[in-house]
């Protein structure tokens, strides 16, 4: 069952008032902590920078074929970034395995929060990617980088 489906099933099954509050708090925490801070502000600009690097003439054909892995720094990155990317991937796998063992409604609440955060991140990626594609030439900074510099 997918994250969104599990969350929908949880909501359809009905929750007690305290469970509704807990669901709202967990979802808000995941959307802000993972969706906004981790994905929108850090990961999306990083991925778009890596994808922009693929446009260079000196980019290996294999890197272009494996563009998703390249964008996530799972291949052809400086050693520190490679270690961080692989450690992050392993941490996600570990978290999935831990959450998988939780009883309902806890698992459904966490899945709902994760699904909402991932949806937020996807919208941020599409919005920033679209903005980058619409800009003429190859800008020195991504839109998110420029906004961060103006704060």
Residue 49 to residue 37: CA distance in whole angstroms: 17
Q: Domain total for the chain?
A: 1
Radius of gyration of the chain (CA): 18
Instruction: Give this prediction's pTM.
Output: 0.81
Residue 81, CA distances (Å) to 17, 44, 69 in order: 44, 15, 13
pLDDT in tens, 54-102: 887 778 889 999 999 999 999 999 999 999 999 999 999 999 999 999 9
User: How many residues are given for the chain?
Assistant: 151
What's the mean pLDDT when you consider all of the chain?
87
Mention every residue, 6+ apart, whose C-beta is less than 8 A from residue 1.
Answer: 9
Task: Give pLDDT, residue 76.
Answer: 92
Range of the domain at 137: 3-149
């Amino acid at each position: 069952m997918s994250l969104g489906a599990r969350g929908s099933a949880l909501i359809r099954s009905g929750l007690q008032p305290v469970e509704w509050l807990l669901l709202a708090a967990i979802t808000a925490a995941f959307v802000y902590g993972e969706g906004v801070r981790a994905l929108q502000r850090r990961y999306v600009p990083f991925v778009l920078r890596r994808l922009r690097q693929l446009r260079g003439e000196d980019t290996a054909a294999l890197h272009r074929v494996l563009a998703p892995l390249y964008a996530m720094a799972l291949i052809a990155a400086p050693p520190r970034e490679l270690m961080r990317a692989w450690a992050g991937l392993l941490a996600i796998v570990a978290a999935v395995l831990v959450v998988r063992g939780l009883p309902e409604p806890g698992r459904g609440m966490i899945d709902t929060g994760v699904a909402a955060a991932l949806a937020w991140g996807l919208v941020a990626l599409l919005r920033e990617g679209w903005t980058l594609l619409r800009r003429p030439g190859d800008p020195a900074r991504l839109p998110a980088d420029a906004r961060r510099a103006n704060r």
